[in-house]
Amino acid sequence: MHEKQVESSWWRSTCEKDVWGDPPWYILALVRLNYLVMVTVAIIAEWFRSHHLIQSPGPQELDKQKDFVPLDDPFVTLYVNNLYRMGSDVVNRPLAGPPSVLMKIKERVTHNYGWSYEFTGRVRDVINMGSYNYLGFSGTESGCIETVTSTLEENGIGICGTRQEFGSTQLHNELDTMVARFLGVEDAVCFPMGFCTNSMNISAFVNKDCLILSDELNHASLVVGSRLSGATIVVFKHNDANDMEQKLLDSVSIKRSQGSSFKKILIIVEGVYSMEGTIVNLPAFIDVKKRRKAYLFLDEAHSIGALGRYGRGVVEYWGCDPNDVDVLMGTLTKSFAAAGGYIAGRKATIEYVKAFSQGACYGGMMSPTLIAQVTHIIKVLTGEDGTNIGFEKRNRLLRNTRYLRNRLKQLGFLVYGHSDSPVVPIITFFASKAVCIGRESLKRGLGVVTVVFPATPWSKSRARLCVSADHTKEQLDLALKVLNDIGELAGSKYGSVDSIGNLVEY
């Protein structure tokens, strides 16, 4: 199918309401009871270990160190040594190859309930539904190897210097220009790490005399960056522009009653939320931002490349003007299968970031090999490579996403997020059920991500799937069969089977 033959409306679902909310009261009560029992048993076990009534295979504090000032939170230690340890086999699984849609996981076993692991020497072949490989560029078949290899031979692995000193080369400047052109803004600057693109740059935009309005489910990098800025931080309800506006007005009113005012107001949201699968209601936030004379910071880590007709993220998805977003941020890890991040916007804004950002002043520079990878993929997305691969991948990603989400709902699972979001969380509420899905999936040749407290609230444990453009319908159907069997086994279907008709088209 040629790109011009596809209606632009196809790229955004008519079902624009995110699935989101709290569990019923009885589920919440049962989850709390479940955690109460587990924590109680953990406390008893720790008491027995501390009095040497049972032997612990794990590290223990020496008797002569009992009077030392503790460096950790006692509850965190209790949680890690007991609750987390019992389900640690579903996390940090070592790979034996690239994280393509089909990947190899090194098999390991534990003989002491998660205190330690040993490799068996065997590998498991699994369908990978846990990686942020949205466009399928993370494998060896992505076509980037030749470009990256030649760049490595010509330019080496990098320069030991910051962008402000002698760490900025022609390759870096060309990448900045290409990213800005791809996003449709005046300028951009790239950094070697996605997390630090947020945590080290927000303080360049706001300080202690400013106000930050942050979504309650913003990523940890945004939280760290906001705190480092010293600004007043007010958290608003997830993806709720009305609540954000009300809290903006309340904060301004309180500040005025104190005889002062905020020098700047910065609204921080994400394009696609990586744990919920929700897509930001960008038009609503832009509207409030304009009316209240605030600034908007948009983190497109999970939406750039994955949303929009040309892969330009949530801005293109909603048909908004990129110049209406004051600071565009994104990572180069997920859709681009590389590393790093970018800040983009007006030229004056980017010049200010280059001069005053901690990331630009003290951080390292991107490796030329990463630049080659990102440059190649942007050319694929825009068609500058002379192929239709970029369009075909975006088309397949959206088709795969809608198919998987609708089929999961049809099978009775409670699936959070937007129907166009490639992040697909299956809500299990109970941590034990999420661990069961992660453990049993691997046995059946499927790799998924298990997420429990503290990465999620106590009552919202989940198994998270990530869709790739390179997943075939046969692979998705096999994954659905595996999940359906485990869902029946674990009793983890909390959705309504009547929400979708009998036929789900691919």
Coil, strand or helix at 103: strand
To the nearest whole number, what is the mean pLDDT of the chain?
91
| 414 touches 459 (CB < 8 A) | no
Summarised one tens digit per residue, pLDDT across range 6-43 is 455 667 876 556 666 778 889 999 999 999 999 999 99
Q: Average pLDDT for residues 189-210, to the nearest whole number?
A: 95
- Beta bridge partners, 128, equal 447
Its pTM stands at: 0.92
The residue whose two tokens read 């107001």 is: 265
CB 368 within 8 A of CB 171: yes
DSSP secondary structure letter of residue 141: G
CB atoms within 10 A of CB 207: 12
Model pLDDT, residue 22: 76
- pLDDT at residue 448 tops 60: yes
Domain at 23-129+388-495: CATH architecture: Alpha-Beta Complex (3.90)
Contacts of 231 (CB under 8 A, 6+ apart): 206, 207, 208, 209, 210, 211, 212, 266
CB-based contact 506:403 (threshold 8 Å): yes
Q: Which two tokens stand for residue 455?
A: 């990465």
Q: Which long-range contacts (CB under 8 A, 24 or more apart) does 499-503 make?
A: 499/409, 499/410, 500/406, 500/409, 500/410, 502/410
Query: Cα separation of 419 and 17, whole Å?
Result: 8
pLDDT of 114-146, one tens digit each? 888 999 999 999 999 999 999 999 877 667 888
Q: Of 165, 168, 190, 164, whose CA–CA distance to 177 is shortest?
A: 190
Q: What is the DSSP code (8-state) at residue 69?
A: P
Q: Record the tokens describing residue 116, joined without a space.
A: 């330690």
Give residue 463's identity as a one-letter amino acid code.
A
Tokens of 100: 């393509």
Q: What is the pLDDT of residue 424?
A: 97
Residue type, 433: K
Domain boundaries, the chain: 23-129+388-495, 144-382
Nearest to residue 272, comparing CAs of 248, 310, 238?
238
How far from the centroid of its chain's Cα atoms is residue 387's Cα? 29
- Could you report the per-residue pLDDT of 357-378, keeping only the tens digit for each? 988 888 888 999 999 999 999 9
- DSSP-assigned beta bridge partners for residue 95: 105
Collapsed DSSP state (helix, strand, coil) of residue 463: strand
| Mean pLDDT confidence for 400-429 | 95
Give tens-digit pLDDT for 453-472: 988 998 999 999 999 999 99
Q: What is the pLDDT of residue 161?
A: 78
- Distance (Å, whole) CA 78 – CA 45: 10
Eight-state DSSP code of residue 19: B
pLDDT value of residue 266: 98
Domains 23-129+388-495 and 144-382 share a fold: no
Contact status, residue 298 vs residue 327, Cβ threshold 8 Å: yes
- CATH 1.20.120.1200, domain 144-382, yes or no: no
Cβ 48 vs Cβ 54: under 8 Å: yes
Query: Is 66 within 8 Å of 77 (Cβ atoms)?
Result: no
